[in-house]
Amino acid sequence: MNLTKEKTTYDTVLFDLDGTLLNTLDDLADSVNYALRAKGYPTRTTEEVRRFIGNGVAVLMKRAVPEGTDQAKIDEALECFRAHYKENMRNKTKPYDGIIPLLEELKRRGIRTAIISNKYHDAVGQLAREEFPGLFDAAFGESERLRPKPAPDIVNAAMDALGAKKERTLYVGDSDTDGITACNAGLFFVGVSWGFRDRDVLEEAGAGAVIDKPKELLALL
């Protein structure tokens, strides 16, 4: 664990979902490629999809289709992706090792927690209920009323729902988008090295600490 944080007491932790709590890469890649095949486009490798993730599914599909594809065609591919992913989002997805024990310990300590994701809101809620039953106080995803990360809207909505204060809230994520979001929201950013981006990306994005195992988060509280 790379730890540079000064000692502060925290009572709220906000978690990114994809690449932080859940390894969703294979299911996302499968649904991306289903949509691409359905629309007659070349498919993408899992590593390509990994690089495309982080700014919501609309951006994911825009990056996945051939360069120069017009917006109407991108929207068609996106709807195809959404329909497939809704029915197949848990085929291969699972929590990273150590995540469930961490969440259970946070709950035992009375730490408030929420999921903040650029995945569409209904999917976030479904995954939270099915993968982490009773372990989160709130879950927020992409919606018409909240701008996606790196805008701070989703973070602010979660903090309002929890009655959280910025100075006592940690933001935990795996990407440069998360780092920018945390900065925009005025929160301390903890990067996780097991997700979809490399450590150097997290550090460049402003991570005040980078952890290698979920249990290391407890030392920051």
Task: Give the residue numbers marked as catalytic.
Answer: 16
Distance in angstroms (rounded) separating the CA atoms of residues 221 and 213: 15
- Are residues 77 and 71 in contact, defined by beta-carbon separation less than 8 angstroms? no
Integer CA distances (angstroms), 1 to 71, 172, 215, in order = 43, 14, 10
Residue type, 16: D
- Are residues 178 and 189 in contact, defined by beta-carbon separation less than 8 angstroms? yes
Distance in angstroms (rounded) separating the CA atoms of residues 11 and 112: 6
Which SS3 state, helix, strand or coil, does residue 27 take? Answer: helix
